[in-house]
A and B are shown apart, each in its own frame.
Chain A
Amino acid sequence: DTEVTQTPKHLVMGMTNKKSLKCEQHMGHRAMYWYKQKAKKPPELMFVYSYEKLSINESVPSRFSPECPNSSLLNLHLHALQPEDSALYLCASSQVGGFGNEKLFFGSGTQLSVL
């Protein structure tokens, strides 16, 4: 299985809502990532988990809260978002360290619209 699975595929939420994005992989990867992507722009790194511990937070606002319940799952909890947070949210996974283990596998993303 070389898939990273994300749910939901689409999400529309109001600024007062609370929602969660989910990501799952069964490739045995111990690094998992959240990226935000605006149309035709490169993905922007938000968070990195390594061995289920948060290792990188790219100064993301607290209205985005990541969680890594186990080595296969990654969640992104959303609360009090702003319209400018509307974007494609991509999950990715990779091996941790080692020459030859650099490949990053992306999920299909959640297209988020904040009204």
Chain B
Amino acid sequence: GENVEQHPSTLSVQEGDSAVIKCTYSDSASNYFPWYKQELGKRPQLIIDIRSNVGEKKDQRIAVTLNKTAKHFSLHITETQPEDSAVYFCAALPSGSARQLTFGSGTQLTVLP
């Protein structure tokens, strides 16, 4: 089955700096890669996703890049703000009928004011 590794487990940045979180996956059949943000006590919220036919996607301060050859994808947050502080999870979904997302272990991002 799919295995997703996520690094780093914790990340602290100064407000206004950029943050990068990286994930690698094992199943070359995976074709959908979402990123979830989860604030303390709240639901995981989808913040951006990318499909395997695209190399990069951007939404305001957030971008995701995908390297299918190397089987890794990354989340980039620019101009970080204190409200970006949360746990971020990457995930991968293999193609096929069983829609089982495999999650990474999570990254606790802290943006220091």
Contact = CB atoms under 8 A, between A and B. Distances in A.
Contacts of B19: none
A111 B93 CA distance: 27
Contacts, number: 54
A102 B49 contact: yes
Contact of A104 (B34, B42, B106, B108): B34
Interface string B83-113: 0000101000100011111011110100000
Nearest to A101: B99
Contacts of B104: 42
B44 A106 contact: yes
B61 interface: no
A43 interface: yes
Interface in B33-71: 34, 36, 41-46, 49, 51
A98 B49 CA distance: 16
B106 A108 contact: no
Interface in A94-115: 94, 96-97, 99, 102-109, 111
Contact of A40 (B87, B98, B100): B87
Binding site of A, secondary structure by majority: helix, strand, loop or mixed?
loop
Nearest to A44: B103
Contact of A109 (B34, B43, B103): B43
Contacts of A40: 87, 106, 108
Given A99-B51, A103-B34, A104-B46, 7 more contacts: A48-B98, A48-B99, A56-B98, A104-B34, A104-B99, A106-B36, A106-B43
Question: Closest 8 interchain pairs by CB?
Answer: A42-B103, A102-B32, A106-B43, A108-B43, A106-B44, A42-B89, A102-B93, A42-B106
Interface of B: 31-32, 34, 36, 41-46, 49, 51, 87, 89, 93, 97-101, 103-106, 108
Interface of A: 31, 40-43, 45, 48, 55-56, 90, 94, 96-97, 99, 102-109, 111
